[in-house]
Amino acid sequence: MQKIEIGVEGMSCASCVGRIEKALVDESGVSAAQVNLATGRATVEFDQPATPAALVNSIKNAGYQPRVQSVEIPVTGMTCGSCVSRVERALNKQPSMIKASVNLTTQKAFVEFLSDALSLPRIHQAIRDAGYEPQEPDTSTHAEEQDKEGIDLRRKVIFAAALTIPVVLIAMGKMIPALEALYASVLSHRGWMAIEWLLTTPVLFYAGSRFFRSGYAELRHANPGMNSLVMIGSSAAYFYSVAALLVPGFFPAGTAESYFEAAAVIVTLILLGRYFEHIAKGRTSEAIKKLLQLQAKTARVIRDGEVVEVPIEAVVPGDRIQVRPGERVPVDGVVEEGQSYVDESMISGEPVPVAKQKDAELVGGTINKNGSLTFRATRVGADTVLAQIISMVESAQADKPPIQELADRIAGVFVPVVIVLAILTFITWFSFGPAPALSFAFVTTVSVLLIACPCAMGLATPTAIMVGTGKGAEMGVLFRKGAALETLARMDTIVLDKTGTLTRGRPELTDFILVEGREDEVLAWVAAVETESEHPIGEAIVKDARDRGLRLPAVSDFQAEPGYGVQAQVAGHRINVGADRYMRRLGIDLASVADSAVSLAEKAKSPLYVAVDGRLAALIAVADPLKDGSVEAVAALKATGLSVAMLTGDNRATAEAIARQAGIERVLAEVLPDQKAAEVKRLQEDGARVAFVGDGINDAPALAQADVGIAIGTGTDIAIEAGDVVLMRGDLRGIVDAAALSRRTRKTILGNFVWAYGYNLALIPVAAGVLFPFTGYLLNPMLAAGAMSLSSVFVVTNSLRLGRFKSDSRDFAASNVSESGAALASVS
């Protein structure tokens, strides 16, 4: 039986207490729950099946907010997937831990825990007990301060190389017959061994001290990892050589040989590999660095009638800010004065500047191109769009996709297995190997330990996820979860919401067919009548008239008949606007426009009729048109083999007309908003892997139900919690970009794993000497160390290739424009 306390916010009365207690007791495994309104805490007794995460969800579902703290903790000493697995196990054992995720690439642990029941010092201690060292976040902005690890590695690589090269030269000289006599004339064999000892010792215990510190901690906690393998392998070579130098008579004849060069080269090569790996891993976070560089440092604020330059932290909502040509917009806001063009490519991926004038929204981090603007700050600090983008990208990079969780579990048992294999290798060679058996056993054992370091396994996924999510942000595609970047690649069905996703989401006047009178005059009369109406179709007519610059006359005697139409007196004329049934009731003949009305209806346009003084004057059509790029996006998705369906609450006739225009054959129509999630679930039950695309607000249940939820956002409204992926532009071609990037990322991850596991599976037997009976070849420990380091560097550089990914959705659209046009023509 376990007991924990959970802080709860939002309680106000005894009924709140009752609801929370009931929600907790109903949770599987909970035996008792008591909630104290005064202290704002719930005390829960539960058996093992119940988890803090489940209890937190129960409180949230009851309508209250549990006190949960999320913290990012830098951790030093992690070098491979087994390190990640050990730290995660140690953290998740904490009784009030909700979630713990460790990222090898960023060297950080992301923990979410019950703040009333668990403290940061306890979490830090758990990390230390696992053999690693938690750090306080580094707030320094100086480049060298941020790269202490790289500077230290570079210095130690240079130091180690300077001492290792002479050791290697001495070892080579003793093995080359032409030089052996020369060496012997200078010093005895043991004299040269002594020099090797003096040179190798600082390489191991100064330059390679990190391996011994971390390796000892891993072994002390019975959790061997990569550092343990390096420590055991290099120290075995070192102490074997020291013993051969000091007490050569102890060894069987012919086995008292020196392996100082192997120990020195092992440490030097692994340090060099770690340095190259550090440089490459640094490049995987370029996206975050670029986004941080977009943040302005100061703002020109108007205070007391004067422009004052203040630090960005001093800006508050409501401040009036001036932005000159060429300057970066410091925070989000709304234009009050001036006109200009603003480069918003950092939020939309589109290079064309956007016109800005009074009441237009500005996004912090964008660049004002040519005019001066004065705007009022609306969002500052962590609330700005740029801050939200950075937060989303960081969150996605910290997320652990399913394939990585599997890799971490494998890495967690891999190192102990390797140590067992190394022991078996030693026993086998020592017992059955040819003379000198001890030398053969020693070389093969050290090679097995070094070749099997699982660094590449731990780096295979997080490096690809980091580069992929960063590239997505550059393209206007935000992956809120790293898992979505992998999962989206496996989808076979894309379900698109209609209104606001496929279409623009607002009615527009599409056709005006004049029967009698002058077009501008009739339209002005109709728009004047519709100013009195609250119907969205009326708003579309009024907007079109105003966009044309028409002057709307005064209206009197306005009357509306729901389901039929409206009537009013305008400029001395009686104006009637409405559906066909309204006109027939008024006795107005519609035969002259009957064919046009049918044609418009087939195109998903709503026909309206205008009568002036009892005579038919015009046929108007209003529709919610497809967004630019929707047809091309659907065609591109279908071309990649995906099944595309449309989901809408509209009537079937209208839905099918829109679907024909978009090139979609499968239509789910007349679906109520609360039934959309059920429709997605039905598709999943039929075996489909579904990605649902919606506006992120009304479609939240369907987005959550889908295997991957893709929310349509805009540059100024991206904080959409329901979706796993957010398209920062309304253009559906972003789905094509997201899917293509997802497939490329998953391919990269799988390639990394094929290399990482294939490398180990292929070379461990070679290191153990399986080729020796056939070829007489044994893998040198120095080559084993070099191969291990190169394996990690290969995986990281392979992931960095994602940074060169380019979307071909626009190229696809261009090459298919004629085909799309022909398709539309045939529908028309």
Catalytically active residues are 497
Whether the bond between 436 and the residue before it is cis, its omega within 30 degrees of 0, is yes
The string of DSSP letters for 798-820 reads HHHGGGG----HHHHHHHTHHHH
Q: Which residues pair with 725 in a beta bridge?
A: 479, 710
Closest Cα partner for 785 from 777, 793, 796? 793
**Residue 745: both structure tokens together:** 């990322």
What letter would DSSP give residue 490? G
SS3 482: helix
Give the Cα separation of 344 and 324 in Å (integer): 16
For residue 644, give every residue at least 6 positions away whose Cβ sits within 8 Å of its Cβ, in sequence order, or none: 493, 494, 496, 634, 637, 638, 664, 666
Give the Cα separation of 267 and 398 in Å (integer): 30
Give the Cα separation of 434 and 123 in Å (integer): 52
Residue 106 identity (one-letter amino acid): T
In the sheet that holds 477-479, the strands lie side by side as: 477-479, 725-727, 708-712, 690-694, 493-497, 643-647, 666-668
DSSP E strand boundaries for 104-189:
108-114, 133-134
Identify whether the C-beta of residue 807 lies closer than 8 Å to the C-beta of residue 736: yes
What letter would DSSP give residue 300? E
SS3 40: coil
Cα 491-495-497 angle, rounded to 5 deg: 150
Q: How far is CA 141 from CA 314, 399, 466, 598, in A?
A: 19, 25, 21, 67
Q: Is 175 exposed, middle or buried (0-12, 13-18, 19+ CB in 10 A)?
A: exposed
Identify whether the C-beta of residue 625 lies closer than 8 Å to the C-beta of residue 504: yes
Alpha helices in 302-401 (DSSP H): 345-348, 385-398
> % helix / strand / coil in the chain, to the nearest 5?
55, 20, 25
Q: Give one word for 487, left, alpha or beta, with left for phi > 0 and alpha for psi -120 to 50.
A: alpha
Phi, psi of 253 (to 5 degrees): -55, 130
Return the residue matching tokens 């630019």: 628
Q: Which residues pair with 46 in a beta bridge?
A: 2, 30
Identify whether the C-beta of residue 702 lies closer than 8 Å to the C-beta of residue 681: no
Cα 610-611-614 angle, rounded to 5 deg: 170
Alpha helices in 663-732 (DSSP H): 676-685, 700-705
Q: How far is CA 422 from CA 243, 472, 767, in A?
A: 21, 43, 10
Give the Cα separation of 718 and 611 in Å (integer): 45
SS3 258: coil
